[in-house]
Amino acid sequence: MPVAPVRPHGALFALLALGFATMPAVAHAAAPTIRLSSGIADEAGGTRQIVYGDELSTITQITVDGASVPFTAFDAQGVPALRFVAPAHAPGTVDVRATNPDGTSADSSADDLTYVAPGTAPRLRGLSITAASTSTPTRLTITGVNLGGVDSVAFWRPSAFDEGQGTDLEVVSDTELRVTTPELVYPGELEVVLSGLDGSSLTGSGYLTFTGPEGGNLPQVSSLSPSHGPAAGGTFVQLGTRFTNIGTQGFTIDGQDVSLVYNVFADPNYQQGDPVRLGIVTPPHAPGPVSVRVRTEAGESIDTAASTFTYDGATPTPTPTATPTPTATATPSPAPTLTPTPTPTATPTPTATPAPTPTASPTTSPTPILCAGCVTAKFSYTLTGSTTVKTLTKGTLPLTGSIDALVDVTTGNYTATTVLNDTQGRLMALGFLPVTVGLGFVPSGPTTGKLVDDQLTADLKLRIKVKSVKAFGAIPLAGGNNCQTKSLSTFALSSVGAFDATGVGGTLGGTYAISDLNGCGILNGLVSPLTSGGGNTVSVKLTPKN
């Protein structure tokens, strides 16, 4: 067998190989791993932050920029989580760290908390009351800054986008406004959200607890917009108020069950940035008025004039009927006799030829990927986060990139183009050898998944390229354009908490495996066992692009 040429550091390579082969595995304590849901706080403090991650039940301390803050554990719709209130701090990005008996969480972009100044956007900084009744509207005074441009006050529940709207809004000054709380079917803690032309208040700024018996107010279809549509169906209709517990309620049109959807998925006229609204899509029906009802655990709504939808059928029917009749009766006889001369009117042929050419050009090519003829909407996000490698080489690498999705508004299915930028970070091999690793990611086909209500799933297949591995940050061990995983890695991601498709976006988490490597040079057999393995985690935050 030919001897490999001598390279610089050849003796050290041999020594490292010997160390890798003989060094026993090192047991690691389970220090916590954390990520923040929003990562944005008001410089004045008071913004609630939600913490997700691993080993949360063992955490004894949370610090913000080194200062300890009180925290509580709670169940975030089936996901264990912690929450704390961000203290006041000068604008800028700081680290949030968590400590348990086994250590302190590693620093990563997922735990960054960015303090922001108000600018011109409204900021909620105080509520005159902490509790309200589900059945009796209450006058609420809100204090803050930049309140002069606020035109709506919403009360949000974690399980729904828009739980209820405040009424009788009165802007007293730029630092104070008053609003009447809505009636609700279900009690619970709701977030108060201010909106206006200059933006919305920060997530987690204020909460109001509604008390009262469940079912104290029946649901009602207080309005339909629009209140009429074609008999062929397919009209997105925005409904009224008091709709909660989305998963357990039902809607009927003339007794026929229909599904509750968001305009994000079902309204062909929806544009990114428009308000998110609940509604239904009308099924085909004979022309005429029908009743729209909603059922919840509290009961079923009653029929009113406001809950009546009218199917328009008179206009489309006569159009096809009247046109063919005159054409067949009088025109056919003279047509063959006198029309042959106008046959040169074949001029439409060249006229029609250029028309289809530009029509085929628009970049609607992604549409067939989903389904023929379905209504789609485009969403674009920036991607930031991190991945934690848990093989014999351990550590966390930052992730950045973008995702551009085309969503079937009826089903929520989507395909997307995902871009993950090259990344680099410092890892620890076998618990004692620091290595600097540079990685690249090559997606295999489009990302697929589903966006339903406030839950997002994503399935991404990609090949991982190991562009460089350097011991102590200086001694090259492996890498290059041909150094890559033998098999594709599957990133199966799902939203952590609620995903706000058109507002602040949300966080996705998941796991993946790294296969053996090939094409990594003479030390391929050494490096591959150190990097291959399962249980690796990824956490990314998707933020809508402007």
CATH at residue 132: 2.60.40.10
Q: Is the CB of residue 479 less than 8 Å from the CB of residue 448?
A: no
Q: Mean pLDDT over residues 320-345, rounded?
A: 45
Dihedral pair phi/psi, residue 109, rounded to 5°: -65, -20
- Predicted confidence band at 87 (pLDDT cuts at 50, 70, 90)? very high
Same domain for 527 and 453: yes
Dihedral pair phi/psi, residue 324, rounded to 5°: -65, -30
* Matching residue, tokens 């490096």: 527
Q: What is the pLDDT of residue 274?
A: 57
What does each C-alpha distance from 243 to 148, 163, 168, 183, 365 come to in angstroms?
29, 7, 21, 11, 37
Per-residue pLDDT tens for 200-223?
888 889 999 888 765 455 566 777
| Three-state SS annotation for 439-502 | EEEEECCCEEEEEECCEEEEEEEEEEEEEEEEECCCEEEECCCCCEECCCEEEEEEEEEEEECC
Same domain for 418 and 524: yes
Tokens encoding 88:
């006041």
Q: Is the CB of residue 158 less than 8 Å from the CB of residue 77?
A: yes
Which of 88, 116, 144 is the last residue in one of the domains? Answer: 116
Domain of residue 57: give its range. 33-116
Tokens encoding 280:
């239904």
Q: What's the whole-model pTM score?
A: 0.40
Q: Is the CB of residue 488 less than 8 Å from the CB of residue 444?
A: yes
Same domain for 127 and 112: no
351-383 burial string, b = 16+ CB within 10 Å, else e? eeeeeeeeeeeeeeebbeebeeeebbbebebbb
Q: Domain count of the chain? A: 4
* CA dist., res. 59 & res. 66, Å (int): 16
Start-to-end C-alpha separation, the chain: 60
Which of 294, 312, 330 is the last residue in one of the domains? Answer: 312
Residues of the chain with pLDDT > 70: what percent?
73
Same domain for 235 and 90: no
Q: What is the pLDDT of residue 314?
A: 52
Per-residue pLDDT tens for 21-68?
434 444 445 889 999 877 888 999 999 998 988 888 899 999 999 999
Helix or strand run (H / E) with residue 526: helix 524-531
* CA dist., res. 108 & res. 98, Å (int): 12
Per-residue pLDDT tens for 378-400?
888 889 888 888 877 788 888 88
Per-residue pLDDT tens for 264-280?
555 666 665 555 566 78
Same domain for 495 and 385: yes
Which of 149, 183, 211 is the last residue in one of the domains? Answer: 211
